[in-house]
Structure 1
């Protein structure tokens, strides 16, 4: 408790700023002001049966959790799954994936204060908690440990940069990791960094994002996207972050032939209008995916202003530049592009997906470039080299297929924890 006291006091002092930030974000994304009570552990719905709780902070974690959640629902028909999030886009993604399935509940995780964490656990009484990737909340995990709720940190990744940040508070980090019942790391390097910080019971399970496969409906939608392009080549800039779109757009307009269209899909939906304004400022024709129109002959930019359709965008494109890698954001998920056979072009900053990026390069599925202009040049060169493009696409499919299996290994860890519970819990 004493270890967490400074952290808790910091939370209390910061809470007004956190709420102001919520209001600030709601200017662009009004959904941030919905279900605010849940962030203070005020919930209306109760689970119809015993709960397995899965925390997936936002979109990427929610999609990575999908195969595991489906496996849990199949293996444990007497349980429901509570999916908690921190962002409206994560919550919307879970709604897209699971619809109105009565066994899948969704809510916001409360802020990490002991009173709120206790109220959350008393309300839902989870039999098991599964936290995706590296969402480490000291008070929440301590509350779980006190109440005998086993927690699995699944699909865990920890970059060298993040490890150094956690190492600044060694005692708190060690206590927080020690409250976990088991950890499934994406890579051996992630596992070693977690052990070095004091984590017990760490196993390497692999990256669950390899197990996420496109549905036939999304592949069909990708085909319709390509048909709407009217034979023009689609160069996809996928999951781009703030500051990346402008140099990618400028390089495309300077280098691309007239029969190519830049399919631009920002990572965050609240930035759709901002990115559209970049094209308007350059005097080029932009159309939105939400318009459902075929591309006009003079359209140079197609804005992917939709959620849950990234597989379709990858399936429609001839080549994909992966966002988050052109500025030091750490890169976004490249596995989905590989899975549908779309050649990948990466920037220099991929520390969030270091092993996956290196393996994709080694497999011949991805190219790495130093900056946005070099990346766009490489992508456009691939447009003109069909044989190389097809070879990279096939290499990507093989690479993605050979690294599947993390979900099964994570499920085994989860089952072990469920079966180890004391009788009567």
Structure 2
């Protein structure tokens, strides 16, 4: 494809977006019925602000979902410490709840506007960001173009490029070069990610490591934690977290297979809590007794599965066990980040499909803090082994902690790379009077 054809393709994308604009409202209404949109805040998706813009410098930070939001929290806290206002956009209901629980009123939260010209122009005109910082992997052509047209720096942090995305962009290289060339800076998670961004036209690109390594472990309510620990008592536990469809059936298989020997409790935390009703029905069909966190059910000696169908409580669930299977890795692809499990003292198990977190897993596995399993039968054997061998379990936990310590330092590297953009904003914030109108 020539450069001219690439320009024409991007123009076609923008025109298609303009034509699709009238259909966006029913589309969002449908998603709201599915629990995937907040219908009370639907206008935010069209770029209409629901909060006033504060006076002074403001950086727009976008984190698509829960994982990206957790990763950028340390960076956001550093920006706030430098007296820069943060507008944080997310794309999911679950990530919005996480922002409320972790950051409260420290940031302005809005749902990210749809990548349609009218929505993006309205959003940028109102918020007037001094810079736009995006976490990880999303590329939105209209947003990139509108920010570039206004000479607003666009920075990608904790940037990753999956195998599938890289192959797709390579097949449309001229389009990729036009889009990635609009980025002012890319701070990549690994050398592989950095090379992929460079190959697609991004420049400059630096490597930081994973920001998640510099974040604090997810918090929890200590009173709730002690209550559940008391209810569980001396029973052994294991957790299957961030699970996708099919992996919950695997957790049920493990529970049934090991119960005669261990009388254990399975802690099951689906990636999408709104699937709780369907998961409970499946577990009950298999003869398992379920307690749900969303109902505040008590865990009794008869409880087989504690279903963690709530948002923002991963810190609670992982503190109730020392064995964690991290999902989206057996019956789905891509994997989920194992760092929270390792941070909170769990021996980590995972399926082989962890393409999105390959380097993280490789490091933790090399250190001895994680093991890969091929199927449900191997998962049951691994859980049995770790429950039966405290020395082996403790060694994996300690190795996981060491691996996380090795991965710290990404935040300082990221901040150093961002200094040309954020230092002038800090100076401006400290020089201008707080009482001035925006």
1-structure distance, mates of 2:267, 2:22: 39
Q: TM-score, normalised by structure 1?
A: 0.93
CA distance 1:64–1:30, shift in 2 (3 Å): closer
2:303 equivalent to 1:299: yes
Match of 1:71 among 44, 56, 78: 78
1-structure distance, mates of 2:226, 2:178: 50
Are the equivalent residues in 1 in contact too, given 2:63–2:88 (CA < 8 A)? yes
In structure 2, the residue matched to 1:196 is 199
1:176-205 C-alpha deviation (Å, 9 max, x unpaired): 111110000000001111111111111111
In structure 1, the residue matched to 2:66 is 59
The alpha-carbon deviation at position 148 of structure 1 amounts to 1.4
The alpha-carbon deviation at position 295 of structure 1 amounts to 1.5
Are the equivalent residues in 2 in contact too, given 1:233–1:318 (CA < 8 A)? no
2-structure distance, mates of 1:274, 1:172: 42
- More deviation in 197-206 or 227-236? 227-236
2-structure distance, mates of 1:292, 1:48: 39
In structure 2, the residue matched to 1:185 is 188
2-structure distance, mates of 1:216, 1:109: 26
2-structure distance, mates of 1:336, 1:375: 20
CA distance 1:220–1:383, shift in 2 (3 Å): farther
For residue 209 of structure 1, give the secondary structure of its aligned residue in structure 2. helix
Match of 1:32 among 38, 43, 47: 38
2:351 equivalent to 1:347: yes
Are the equivalent residues in 2 in contact too, given 1:3–1:171 (CA < 8 A)? no
> Aligned pairs, how many?
420
In structure 1, the residue matched to 2:143 is 140
2:334 equivalent to 1:330: yes
2:369 equivalent to 1:365: yes
CA distance 1:219–1:183, shift in 2 (3 Å): farther
1:123-160 C-alpha deviation (Å, 9 max, x unpaired): 00111111000111111111111111111100001122
2-structure distance, mates of 1:411, 1:342: 30
Match of 1:290 among 284, 287, 294: 294
In structure 1, the residue matched to 2:405 is 401
Match of 1:89 among 87, 94, 106: 94
The alpha-carbon deviation at position 100 of structure 1 amounts to 2.5
Q: TM-score, normalised by structure 2?
A: 0.90
For residue 367 of structure 1, give the secondary structure of its aligned residue in structure 2. strand
The alpha-carbon deviation at position 288 of structure 1 amounts to 0.9
CA distance 1:164–1:216, shift in 2 (3 Å): closer
CA distance 1:208–1:224, shift in 2 (3 Å): farther
2-structure distance, mates of 1:315, 1:51: 36
2-structure distance, mates of 1:376, 1:405: 36
2-structure distance, mates of 1:304, 1:107: 26
Match of 1:47 among 43, 49, 53: 53
1-structure distance, mates of 2:346, 2:226: 13
Gaps of 5+ in 2: 1-6, 430-438
The alpha-carbon deviation at position 323 of structure 1 amounts to 0.7
Are the equivalent residues in 1 in contact too, given 2:255–2:264 (CA < 8 A)? no
1-structure distance, mates of 2:407, 2:398: 15
For residue 380 of structure 1, give the secondary structure of its aligned residue in structure 2. helix
1-structure distance, mates of 2:309, 2:344: 21
CA distance 1:398–1:56, shift in 2 (3 Å): same
1:216-254 C-alpha deviation (Å, 9 max, x unpaired): 655775454333312211110001012221123123212
1-structure distance, mates of 2:192, 2:15: 33
1-structure distance, mates of 2:20, 2:265: 45
2-structure distance, mates of 1:235, 1:92: 26
The alpha-carbon deviation at position 89 of structure 1 amounts to 1.1
Are the equivalent residues in 1 in contact too, given 2:220–2:313 (CA < 8 A)? no
Are the equivalent residues in 2 in contact too, given 1:229–1:294 (CA < 8 A)? no
CA distance 1:207–1:277, shift in 2 (3 Å): same
Match of 1:9 among 15, 26, 32: 15
In structure 2, the residue matched to 1:251 is 254
For residue 105 of structure 2, give the secondary structure of its aligned residue in structure 1. coil
Are the equivalent residues in 1 in contact too, given 2:18–2:117 (CA < 8 A)? no
